[in-house]
Structure 1
Amino acid sequence: MDITPAWLRERGLRAVLFDLDNTLVPYKTYGEAPQGLLEWLEALKEAGIQVMLVSNGSRRRVRYWCEKLGVPGFGPAGKPWFGFRKALRRLALAPREVAVVGDQLFTDVLGGNLIGAYTVLVPPLSKREMGYTRLVRKLERWVLQNPSLGLAAWGNEEFDPKEPRQEPTISKE
């Protein structure tokens, strides 16, 4: 919730594509939205920032949270390869005008960078995850802790609202 309308505008960003599980809400949870989440999303929308959920979660789960949070979205999105382009078409924006915010390097950040969006990697809200995701987390940590790979710039900068915008690091070539 540290991502503010001012921070987004300073970077020329007009929309945010959010991952759902462990980014906005803990994995597999239903019920009430976490404290402050609805107000924060509403503040983004009131500032003219478009918001959309792009999730690999089930259609039923994504629909539930879209209704609960009052935002559009879809799933399963097939990230990193699919979903983000569909979202760009729905928003009618260029990739450079869109931020992708998520908790996973190989789905959210990679997918966002593949389309040329600004990416923000956030820590997961919960340690509860699918077994597959727990395995991938080990690879993520290794990649992010191994600067010689040159992959740490995939968007895993420490989130600092005062930092200037950096261009995506993965080209489409």
Structure 2
Amino acid sequence: MSFVEPERYFSRISMIDIQKDILDAGFTHVLLDIDNTILTRDTHEVPRDVSFWLSKARSAGLTFCLVSNNWHEGVYDLARRLDLPIVAKAVKPLPPAFLVALRKIGAKRKTTVMIGDQLITDVLGAHFLGMTAYMLQPLVEQDLKHTLLLRNVERAFMGDREPEGASVQAAEELSDESSAQAINQG
């Protein structure tokens, strides 16, 4: 595995099997990005499947710390709503914020996985410290201008790599669309 590639690449966080992909892999702690990972960039909402996954993961005993380059009050509000510790203004991929996050939750690097939607900030930041990184497709395509530039770099490294769960997610979306059309026609 290349230093600039994630160990795993998923279509969204709800496609990560908590038992198989996290606990059985030896992880008990998760550093978690916010924007476009668990919070949509366009509507600033946590999708229902993401909320359910977080709840299920916490019930399974996983410990989380949010790590975000964002500095707005909204990330602190989200951390309070989710009752999770946060390291904001992180300046990812630089190591200090990752180290602060690990200390906040009493985690070791080898038992912690970083989950985020950006190769340059989340994956490289984790890899600088020898940690495992799972990358997600962004929840929505809308992004900040500087992030859109970084997405071009990501495409160069990721190529046409298909995220795990993409076909399942597409089938679910198609099913939801069909159900909505049936209701509207009925």
TM range (shorter): 0.7 to 0.9
Whether 1:54 and 2:85 are equivalent positions in the alignment is no
> TM-score scaled to structure 2, two decimals?
0.73
Shift of 1:131: 0.6
Alignment RMSD (CA, Å): 2.0
Whether 1:66 and 2:66 are equivalent positions in the alignment is no
Indicate the residue corresponding to 1:24 in structure 2: 38
Q: Distance in 2 between matches of 1:119 and 1:73?
A: 18
Q: 1:87-142: per-residue Cα shift (whole Å, max 9, x none)? A: 11112221010010111101000001111211101101111111111111111111
Matches within 5 A, 1:94-173: 94-145=108-159, 158-159=163-164
2:85 and 2:104 in contact (8 A); partners too: no
Which has more radius of gyration?
2
Higher fraction of helix: 2
Structure 1 residues 76 and 28: CA distance shift in structure 2, 3 A: farther
Indicate the residue corresponding to 1:153 in structure 2: none
3-state DSSP of counterpart to 1:85: helix
Q: Distance in 1 between matches of 2:64 and 2:92?
A: 17
Q: 1:61-105: per-residue Cα shift (whole Å, max 9, x none)? A: 211111222322121111110311111111222101001011110
1:21 and 1:28 in contact (8 A); partners too: no
Structure 1 residues 28 and 71: CA distance shift in structure 2, 3 A: farther
Matches within 5 A, 1:33-52: 33-52=46-65
Shift of 1:157: 8.5
Shift of 1:43: 1.3
3-state DSSP of counterpart to 1:120: strand
Q: Which has the higher contact order (CA 8 A, sep 6+)?
A: 2
> TM-score scaled to structure 1, two decimals?
0.78
